[in-house]
Amino acid sequence: MRRDAIATMLPAAYQRAMHPSGVLWALLDVMEALHEAAEDRLDTVEDLFHPYRTPDRLVPFLARWVAVDHLGSGRDLVARGTALAQSRGTREGLRQAVTLATGLTEIEIEEPADRPFHLIVRIPVGSDLTERVRHIVELDKPAATTFEMGTLP
């Protein structure tokens, strides 16, 4: 808040007594300086909530905020958090979650017709991400659904 704006909030007697060489003028300069850092932050407050503009230390907070912290805390995960939430519990949502969290693009998720509420998750042979994918599927699948891990042919 600028000195002039602060001065308008003072009683009329104080406003009349103010002059550039006076104590009140100096106090208003101090008040203006005290407000400056907070006002600068408020001018860019939306950056704190933007996944690609927020400081690195806030990305894990945003990941918790949009409920993707179990997948990791990358900026892409935070940016896609609402889309992941909308498709959570579906095959496509599970595929997106695994892909964003691991970078694994070759993944197949099958729901056998003869086994309702069961998924078969297949990833490439020899992938070192098997346990990570298993953990993600366990956390993201519907509670009543079982699953098994397999490999792609």
Give the count of beta carbons closer than 10 Å to the beta carbon of residue 108: 15
Whether the per-residue pLDDT at 30 is higher than 90: the answer is yes
pLDDT band of residue 3 (cuts 50, 70, 90) is: confident
Contact between 131 and 143 under an 8 Å Cβ cutoff? The reply is: no
Instruction: Give residue 126's pLDDT.
Output: 84
Handedness of CA 83, 89, 95, 98 (dihedral sign): positive
Whether the per-residue pLDDT at 1 is higher than 90: the answer is no
Mean pLDDT computed over 66-77: 89
Q: What is the dihedral of CA 72, 76, 80, 82, to 10 degrees?
A: 50
pLDDT band of residue 138 (cuts 50, 70, 90) is: very high
pLDDT band of residue 56 (cuts 50, 70, 90) is: very high
Whether the per-residue pLDDT at 73 is higher than 90: the answer is no
Residues 6+ apart with CB under 8 A from 64: none
Instruction: Give residue 72's pLDDT.
Output: 86
Mean pLDDT computed over 38-47: 90
Determine the residue type at 138.
E
Instruction: Give residue 127's pLDDT.
Output: 82
Based on its alpha-carbon atoms, the radius of gyration of the chain, rounded to whole angstroms, reads: 27
Mean pLDDT computed over 97-108: 92
